[in-house]
Amino acid sequence: MKVLNPDEMRRMDETCIHKYKVPAQILMENAALSALSVIQEEYPHHSVLLVCGSGNNGGDGLALARILFSLEKDVEVLLLGNPDHFSKETSQNYRAVREIGIPLSLNPNDEELSFKPNRLIVDALLGIGLNRTVSEKYKAIIERMNHSGAPIFSLDIPSGIDGTTAQPRGISIRADKTICFGAPKRGNILSPGYVYNGELFCSRISFPPPLIRDWPGKTEFNIPSPLIQRDPLGYKNSFGRILIIGGGKNYQGAPALAAQAAYRSGAGYVTAAVPQSQASGFSAHCPEAVIQELQETTEKTISEKNETLLLDLASKHDVVLMGPGMTGQEETVSLIRKLIPLIPVPLVLDADGLNALAGSPDLTSKRKFQTVITPHLGEQKRLRLGLTEDQSLEERYGVICVYKGPRSRICQSDGKEYINLTGNDALGTAGSGDVLAGMVATLIATQESVIQGVCKAVLLHGLTAERYPGARESFTASDIIEALPRCLLEYKNNYNEMKQTFLGKMKMIP
């Protein structure tokens, strides 16, 4: 499923109108009919107040008001704006609403505004074209709508959400349900915009399939291919050999979590290269892992003296994960920087591996093998030091970048972007990133391509949080690992349903 920004959506509308000869009035009518189907299913007994602006979003609302009125619904319209500035399609629906006698208040004052808690509010106020802070006039109306106690159904996007950045422009409607037209917008899908949608629906509004299929957009939902079936005749070396370089004083758990996650994600063989002082205790955390003891600095971190050993070890594995728990000790940072350009297999950098990389993009951009980085927000900021505003991390560092956070994004240096739909705030717990890094390393090794492996790992990582049966406050990184077998099985057995329902995050409406 493609995800568009407002400019792309306008171009898609224009292409539909001019190339495929579908009139704009029909598209507006279809948008209203699809919204009607949601109202009939979800709010069949409600009277309806439609709050409409002066753009085509308001036109969709006026068309919906006309259709609801024809079904003898109790309908009222609050219209804000100057009818002299309406588009042709919005003007036609405005005139129809007036002629057939639907109660309409044009630019009502505060005393005339009435939002009753037992009446459905349809938000058709601002739409996807908002590119500035919500005016004081509209802000007051949105505040009253939000505090009315009434259910709110937004058309295309909750009013006040920026369709590109997903950020509220000062204030936003908090909808109970939203229907997007044509295709979901970035503002519907990214954080924090998706929180304001409530339940999300989508209608193609009769866009021809070739228009959707062949659209050159580079952003889509993260719904990768099915998991590759394991070879029934395979053995441990058939299922991915993973080298994890990590650990340091006070951070023994990080590489252990990554190793456990690697095994639970399907790795056949995991080597943990850790400081000598940690080696004896490591097997208690992950007895399956092979331990490579490393020489230490005086601060009990990994010494530069291990460079040759680690490069030789890396060449005997399919993927290397470097960074969990390595600390910012000066000599260890120097080692990381030496190893990054020389590791002769795909490389995953996380945690202190990212901190060592920050400010030195040439270390990864000139690598012969693919690199994946998995920064959280703080690490993203550090990695951006020295970059221009229009440069992305994936472009400048020449990597696949997993921007971790609510609705994580997986971005390639060619501009392709996958928005992840799984996960919740339970993942905000120590060690969660170490687990993800171990999953990424394994699925890179076992799936059909690096990008597919990364996408599957991020999806499954989020799914573990959604399937956790307890309170989110109780969720730990170890719970992610424990849930992986069930989530892998669910993804295998229910793949087609999960794909068709967009992982339960969006419903398609005819």
Q: Is 30 annotated as a binding residue?
A: no
* Sites in the chain below the pLDDT cut of 70: none
The single-letter DSSP state of residue 152 is: E
Is 37 in contact with 510 (CB distance < 8 Å)? yes
Q: Is 58 annotated as a binding residue?
A: yes
Q: In terms of C-beta density within 10 A (0-12 exposed, 13-18 middle, 19 or more buried), how is residue 98 classed?
A: middle
Domain 6-217 homologous superfamily, CATH = YjeF N-terminal domain (3.40.50.10260)
Q: Is 193 annotated as a binding residue?
A: no
Alpha carbon 204 to its chain centroid, in Å, reads: 21
Q: Is 409 annotated as a binding residue?
A: no
Is 39 in contact with 73 (CB distance < 8 Å)? no
Q: Is 313 annotated as a binding residue?
A: no
Interatomic CA distance for residues 46 and 40, integer angstroms: 9
Q: Is 189 annotated as a binding residue?
A: no
Q: Is 353 annotated as a binding residue?
A: no
Q: Is 376 annotated as a binding residue?
A: yes
pLDDT at 470: 93
Q: Is 325 annotated as a binding residue?
A: yes
Domain 236-492 homologous superfamily, CATH = Ribokinase (3.40.1190.20)
Q: Is 132 annotated as a binding residue?
A: yes
Q: Is 55 annotated as a binding residue?
A: no
Q: Is 166 annotated as a binding residue?
A: no
pLDDT at 427: 97
Instruction: Indicate the domain borders of the chain.
Output: 6-217, 236-492
Q: Is 405 annotated as a binding residue?
A: yes
Interatomic CA distance for residues 265 and 429, integer angstroms: 20
pLDDT at 128: 96
pLDDT at 493: 97
pLDDT at 112: 73
Q: Is 130 annotated as a binding residue?
A: yes
pLDDT at 60: 98
pTM for the predicted model, two decimal places: 0.95
Q: Is 406 annotated as a binding residue?
A: yes
pLDDT at 192: 97
C-alpha dihedral, 11 to 176 to 194 to 191, nearest 10°: 130
pLDDT at 283: 87
Question: Under DSSP, is residue 403 helix (H, G, I), strand (E, B) or coil?
Answer: strand
Q: Is 156 annotated as a binding residue?
A: yes
Q: Is 60 annotated as a binding residue?
A: yes
Q: Is 110 annotated as a binding residue?
A: no
Is 83 in contact with 97 (CB distance < 8 Å)? no
Backbone phi, psi, residue 306, to 5°: -90, 5
Q: Is 131 annotated as a binding residue?
A: yes
